[in-house]
Amino acid sequence: MESEALLSVRELRIAFDGVEAVRGLSFDVRPREVLAIVGESGAGKSLTARALLGMLPRGATTSGTISPDLSAHRGRRISLVPQDALSALSPVHRVGDQLAAAARSVAGISRTEARARAVAALDRVGIPDAARKARAYPHEYSGGMRQRAVIAMATINEPDLVVADEPTTALDEERRDRVLRLLGEQREAVGAALVLVTHDMDAVRGHADRVLVMYAGRLTELGPADEVLARPRAPYTAGLLASLPQNATGRRLPALRGTPPAPGTLTPGCAFAPRCPLAADACHTAEPEPRQVSGRLVACHRWEELPHPATELFLKEGQPA
C-alpha cells in the first residue's frame, strides 16, 4: 500500500492565527488515479489541495508531512487547474505563447520546439485549427475553449499529478460533465494522477476512482467512489447524498439540519455531531479516528448504526433548523 503511493499526506494540519482549518489529515494519492476531495465550505479541501502545490496563503502555519514534496517541481511534476479559467490566462499574451512559456520553463527546448508543443497541446484538448488559435488572445476564445486551454497548460509538461480546484463550480451540468471528461482524458493521455477538489457530490459519479469526503478539516470517509456513492458508511456522506435533488423521490428532500461549522467554532467531540441524527453521548466527547471498514476508511463512532438507505433518517431531519 505505502510503497505504491505517488504521494503520501500524513497528519497534515493547517492553521491561521492558531485556528486549525485542516486538523490532522492523512491520505495517499496513487499513481494515475482520480481522487476526488469532496467537502463543503470550511471543510479544508481547497487548503489541502493548495498544500500539495505549496501554494498556501500567507499566514498559514502547517505541520505534518507531504512526501514526496512535489511542490518543489511545480509546473513539471505537479500542476494546477484553477477554478476560474479566464483569470488563469494572461489577457495580454497570446494563448500559444503562454503555453510555450510553460513548456520552456522546465524543458531545455528551443522556442520553435516549445511553440510546436503548445500547438500540439491545444490540438490534444480539441481546439479546432490549433495552429491559428495558438496565435489568438484569451478574449478571442469562448469560455469553453479557455477552459480547454487551461487544461492543456496544466498537462503540457506531462506532470505526475494534476490538482483541479473546483474546476466546474460555475458551470451547468452539461458543461461540468464535458470539462470533467476532458480532464479525465488528458490525465490518461499524459499518465498523471488527478486530485479533483469539489463541493459537488454528483460530480464524483463517473469521474473519480476514489473519493475523500472531508468535514471540518478532517477525513470523514475515504474509499472507492462507486462504493461510497452506492453505500455510504459515514452519516455525513449519507446525508449529503440523500439531500441531492437527483436522488429525491418525494416533494420534500431529505436534509441535514444546521450548517457546516466555521473553523474555530467547533464543539468537543465529533465535528458533525451537532447535525448528526445518529449522534450519541460518545460523539459529543471524543473525536472519532478513521478506521478500516470494509475496504475503506470511516471516521464515525456510530457507523454500524447507519441504516441503508438512510433517506428516512434524513427525511425526519428535513425540518427547518
Q: What is the DSSP letter of 70?
A: G
Edge-to-edge strands, sheet with 7-16 = 19-29, 7-16, 60-67
Q: Tell me how crowded residue 282 is: count the other CB atoms within 10 A of its CB.
A: 13
Shortest CB 75 distance to another protein, Å: 31
Shortest CB 281 distance to another protein, Å: 24
- Which residues are paired to 9 by β-bridges? 27, 66
Site residues (vs another protein, CB under 8 A): 40-41, 170, 172-175, 199-202, 239-240, 243-246, 248, 251-257, 259-260, 275, 318-321
By beta-carbon proximity to another protein, the closer residue of 106 and 255 is: 255
The per-residue b/e assignment along 290-308, b for 16 or more CB within 10 angstroms, e otherwise, is beebeebbbbbbbbeebee
> Cell triple for residue 144?
469553453
Contact 20/217 with Cβ under 8 angstroms? yes
Shortest CB 236 distance to another protein, Å: 8
- For strand 60-67 and strand 161-165, is the pairing parallel, antiparallel, or unpaired? unpaired
Quickly list DSSP for 222-240.
EEEHHHHHHS--SHHHHHH
Shortest CB 275 distance to another protein, Å: 8
Rounded to an integer, what distance in angstroms lies between the CA atom of residue 142 and that of residue 127? 11
Shortest CB 139 distance to another protein, Å: 16
- Which residues are paired to 161 by β-bridges? 78, 193
Mapped onto helix, strand or coil, the DSSP state of residue 263 is coil
By beta-carbon proximity to another protein, the closer residue of 18 and 320 is: 320
C-alpha 109, offset from chain centre: 33
Shortest CB 200 distance to another protein, Å: 7
Shortest CB 38 distance to another protein, Å: 9
Mapped onto helix, strand or coil, the DSSP state of residue 215 is strand
